[in-house]
Amino acid sequence: MPRCDLASGLDNTPGQSAFRDILKHPRLVSLEDLDLQKTLSCDDTIMGIIGESLPMLRSLNVSETDITGVGLKQVVKRGELKRLIVNDCRRLGDDAVAWARARGVQVEHKTTSSFGSGGKKVRY
């Protein structure tokens, strides 16, 4: 399966457990492109599952989610990620974006609202 768009589509689930089950499904192991934009359930825990369960992932959109540098690192370190879209991730620091770029990942990172660019500081 080359592409999966779950943007805003999992927010009516009973919780993260359903989201985890979907991401761990064996048929998704060959997934290359995943869109989770505006998915309220997407956080660092989910990013860890993505890093572990989707080894062929090349492109990931997690814009407007609650990921931090911790979650970003889990995906970048474990996979073959080439493109990452993290627009308006209010908990993601600029240091994590710079770290991913230094590892060859093309990162789209824009902040369009007034919430600033703070985030959890992570030692890499």
Identity of the residue numbered 65: T
Residue reference for tokens 């457990």: 17
What's the rounded Cα separation, in Å, for the pair 111 and 1? 31
Q: Is the pLDDT of residue 16 over 90?
A: no
pTM, whole model, 2 decimals? 0.83
Burial (Cβ within 10 Å: 0-12, 13-18, ≥19) of residue 113: exposed
Q: Is the pLDDT of residue 9 over 80?
A: no
In a domain, 119, yes or no: no
Q: Please state the domain count of the chain.
A: 1
pLDDT, one tens digit per residue, over 30-60 is 999 999 999 888 999 999 999 999 999 999 9
Tell me the CA end-to-end span of the chain in Å, nearest whole number: 32
Does residue 14 belong to any structural domain of this protein? yes
DSSP state of 28: G
Domain assignment present for residue 114? The answer is no
What is the C-alpha separation between 11 and 14, in angstroms, rounded?
A: 8
